[in-house]
Amino acid sequence: MVLSVVALVSALGVVLSKNPVTSVLCLIITFFTIAGHYIMMNAQFLAVVHIIVYAGAIMVLFLYVLMLMNLNAELEPQKRNWLKYAGAISGGALLVVLVAALRDASMPALSAESTDIGLIKNLGMLLFKQYVVPFEVSSILFLSAMVGAVVIGKKD
Amino acid sequence: MPVQYYIFLSIALFCIGVMGVLMRRNAIIIFMCIELMLNAVNLLMVSFSKMWADAGRVDAGSAQLFVFFIMVVAAAEVAVGLAIITMVYRNTHSVDINILNRLKN
C-alpha cells in the first residue's frame, strides 16, 4: 500500500516537475517501488533485472543525456496553456473510463503464499526451451539498435 | 490482496504516463513517460502471472518472460531514441518537440 502511494506520487512528480533532472530522480523512485511490487508478487528475477536495467542503465543514460545538453537553465515555453489542460483532461477521462469499465470485474484474490515460478531456474528453463526463437530475435534487435544508435549519433 | 488493486494501480500509472506525453513539450520527458507506461503494463502482467500461478497453471511464467522481452525492447528503443534526440539537439539546440513541426515541409 505504501509502495503504491509512493509510486503514484513520484509518477506525478515525473510529469509535473519543472526541472528535468527532478523528473529523472522521481522516475527512479517509481522504478524502485515497482521492483518492490515485483518482489511481493514472487517475481524475484524480474525485480533484479528491472533494477539493473531501468535504474542502472536506462536512467543513467537519460541523466547523462540531460547533463550533456545542459537543459537546466532552459525552461519550457508556457505559451500553450490550454494544451496542458486538454492533455490533463483527456488523461483523466481515460482513467475514469478504464476504472469504470473494470470496477465490477470479479477477479480472484492473490494468495500470500509464495510460488517458485519467478525463480531464475524456472524462468531460464522456460526461456531456453519454449522461447528460444524470440530470445534470438531479440538479440538481433539489440544488435541492430546498437548499430543504429551509433550511426545516428555519429558526427557526420 | 485482490487483483483489481494491481489493475487500478497500473491504470493510474498508465494514465499518468499518457498525461505526461500529452502535456509536456520536452522530448526527453516524453520518453520517460513512455517508459512509465511500459512499466505499468509490466506490473499488470506480473500480477496476472501471479494470479495464474495461484490457480495452479504451470505455464504462468510465460507472462514474466513477456515482461522480460518488453524490457529488452524498451532498452533498444531508449538507445535509438536518445540518439535521435541528441541529433536533434545538435541541429536545433532545443529538445522542444514543436520544433519538429518543420519536418512537415
The domain of A67 spans 1-73
Q: Whole-angstrom Cα distance, residue A41 to residue A89?
A: 33
Per domain, the residue ranges of chain B are 26-97
State the best of A49, A65, A102, A131 to mutate against chain B, taking most chain B CBs within 10 Å. Answer: A65
Q: Count CB-CB contacts under 10 A for residue A142.
A: 15
Residues of B in contact with A119 (CB under 8 A): none
Which cell numbers in the block locate residue A103?
A: 470496477
Q: Whole-angstrom Cα distance, residue A69 to residue B28?
A: 11
Please check whether residue A141 lies inside any domain of the structure: yes
Please check whether residue A82 lies inside any domain of the structure: no
Please check whether residue A56 lies inside any domain of the structure: yes
pLDDT range class, residue A71, cuts 50, 70, 90: low
Shortest Cα distance, chain A CAs vs residue B103, angstroms: 17
Q: Encode pLDDT of B41-95 as tens digits.
A: 999 999 988 888 888 777 888 888 999 999 999 999 999 999 988 888 888 777 7
Q: How many separate domains does chain A show?
A: 2
pLDDT range class, residue A143, cuts 50, 70, 90: very high
What predicted TM-score, i.e. pTM, was given to this entire model?
0.89
Q: Residues near B56 by Cβ (< 8 Å), separated by ≥ 6?
A: none
Q: Is residue A80 pLDDT above 80, yes or no? A: no
CATH number, domain containing residue A22 = 1.20.120.1200
Residue B101, burial from CB neighbour count under 10 angstroms (0-12, 13-18, 19+)? exposed
Closest by alpha carbon to B84, among A65, A27, A58, A15?
A65
Same-domain check for residues A133 and A66: no
pLDDT range class, residue A77, cuts 50, 70, 90: low
Q: Is residue A41 pLDDT above 90, yes or no? A: no
State the best of A1, A8, A30, A41 to mutate against chain B, taking most chain B CBs within 10 Å. Answer: A41
Residue at a domain's end among A38, A56, A73: A73
Please check whether residue A93 lies inside any domain of the structure: no
Q: How much is the pLDDT for A114?
A: 76
